[in-house]
Structure formats: structure tokens, C-alpha cells
A and B are shown apart, each in its own frame.
Chain A
Amino acid sequence: MYAWIWRHLPGPTPLRLVVALLLVAAVAALLLTVVFPWAVPLLPGQDVSVE
């Protein structure tokens, strides 16, 4: 899968490396700002009040 992505990145190796790092950064940003903040309240131990 990653080999397939690597083959489809444009340009020579240095440019591919930059694009690959940008892709990784974009995925990490999505996880840290959207996915993880949504998922943490679903963990056990998040309810601290009584009803």
C-alpha cells in the first residue's frame, strides 16, 4: 500500500519525500484536531458526575 502510494507520488525522490512528509503531517493533524478529540469522551472513566 505504502509502496503503491510512493510510486504514485510525483517528481524525483527528494520531492516525493517532501510530499510524503506533508501527507503524514496532514493525516496527523486530522487525527489530533478532529478524530482524537471526538474519541476521548468515548473512553471509560470519562463520567465523573453522579446523576
Chain B
Amino acid sequence: MSATPADQDRAGTRTRAAVGVVGELLLTAGVVLCLFVVYALFGTGVATSQAQDALDRELEALDRLEVGGDTTAEGAAEAQAGAAYARMRIPRLGEGWEWVVVQGVEVADLQRGPGHYLASADPGEIGNFAVAGHRATYGEPFAHLDRVRVGDAILVDYQGAEYRYLVTESFLTTPGNGDVVAPVPGDPTARPTEALITLTTCHPRFSGRERLIIHGVLEGQVD
């Protein structure tokens, strides 16, 4: 039994239609992927920038409380995860490089700005003040952290005081090396005697293979 020309025609039409649908789906997927790349690289930064504006207002409200000598200000600043925490400036990364650090290093916290490891010390305190931040996407606060050199300043405003740290070390490590944010980096059981700062981000940029770590030590404080 052989197919008639009419049968072959119908089969050919169906094949062409199926190929057409697959082609349209592939084209659509291509367009959606391009949109996604643009969203990931730039769109995520829009939400982060809005969050930073809100966090900035939050900090200003806290500052006003402190200026007014309100004793509850201390308690109010004991911020919850996701809340505004401190301001950070790194002159090496540009005059305009200023970020509000949020409490916490969970996914949602870091989408709003650099995040303070909850268990780590506060700025100026003996121990290790540790902050994580995105290297790409979500405003990429730590995009160019690799440009920071030993001796560079990291300035932190916290509860009415400005703390000035100087970078002592910059290196790469594995994602599992949590000891870098210990009170004494590299020695989780030791008692801290110095006020340190640690910044962590991913390395290489756009990859989660390693972590870029910056250590610094407190040089001075301006009240």
C-alpha cells in the first residue's frame, strides 16, 4: 500500500507547520534570553538603587534620633536583617562610591546593598566587621573590589561616628572558607584583640568559583 500524492501533500504541510512552530518557539526563546541578560545586568540594579534610597532615608531618620539624644536610638539601630545599618565609602572605587550597608547576608538582604554578616562585629568594635556584596548584578557594589590595594582606606559611618580602616590584605579563597569572617581571621577559636574589617565577594566576576577577600584594620575614629 503506497501513499497517494494527496497523502504526501498533507504530510508535507503538517511537517512544514511543525517546523514553523519550532522555529517560532526558538526565536521567541532567543528574544526572551536577550531580555533576561539585559534584566540581570541592568534591571536588577534599578530595584537595588530604589532600595538604597529607602535605606538612606532610614539611616537619616536614625541619625536624627541620635542627635536628639534619644536613648532608644541605640536599640533602634540594633537593626533587624534587611534594615539599614551603616554607610560605607571606598575612595579608591570613586568619589561617588557610597553604599548603605544592610543587616544580613541572605539573598534578599544582598539584593538591597552590601550586607553585614549578622554574627560579626559592629564597625569600630574589637573583632571582625564583615560585609558581603555583589560583584555583578543588583547594583554590583563590589564590582571592582579587585582594584583595592593594600593601604587604601575604607570609611564606615556607624551610629554617629566615622571609622577609618586601612586595607592590609587582598586575596582569593574558596567559598567554604568561613574562617575569613571569624573574629580573628583564620583562627575561629582565638580571642580578638584588634578591630578588623573584612569584605567578601565572588571571583571571578560572574562566577561563584572563588571568593575575593579584603582585610583591613581600624586606623582611627572621628566622632
A residues sitting closer than 8 Å to B (CB atoms) are: 1-2, 28, 31-32, 36, 39-41, 43-51
Contact = CB atoms under 8 A, between A and B. Distances in A.
B101 to A, nearest CB: 13
Given A48-B142, A50-B178, 14 more contacts: A1-B20, A1-B24, A31-B39, A32-B39, A40-B40, A40-B137, A41-B107, A43-B206, A45-B205, A46-B134, A47-B202, A48-B135, A48-B202, A50-B200
A49 B178 CA distance: 8
14 contacts: A1-B24, A31-B36, A41-B107, A44-B207, A45-B137, A46-B107, A47-B175, A47-B202, A48-B132, A48-B202, A49-B115, A50-B176, A50-B178, A50-B213
Interface residues of B, number: 39
Nearest to A39: B36
Contacts of A49: 105, 110, 115, 117, 132, 200
Given A36-B36, A36-B43, A46 B137 contact: yes
Nearest 3 Cβ contacts at the A-B interface: A49-B132, A45-B206, A49-B105
Nearest to B132: A49
Nearest to B24: A1
Interface of B: 20-21, 24-25, 32, 35-36, 39-40, 43-44, 105, 107, 110, 115, 117, 132-137, 142, 173, 175-178, 180-181, 200-202, 205-208, 211, 213
A20 to B, nearest CB: 14
Which secondary structure dominates chain A's binding surface? loop
A39 B43 CA distance: 13
A50 to B, nearest CB: 5
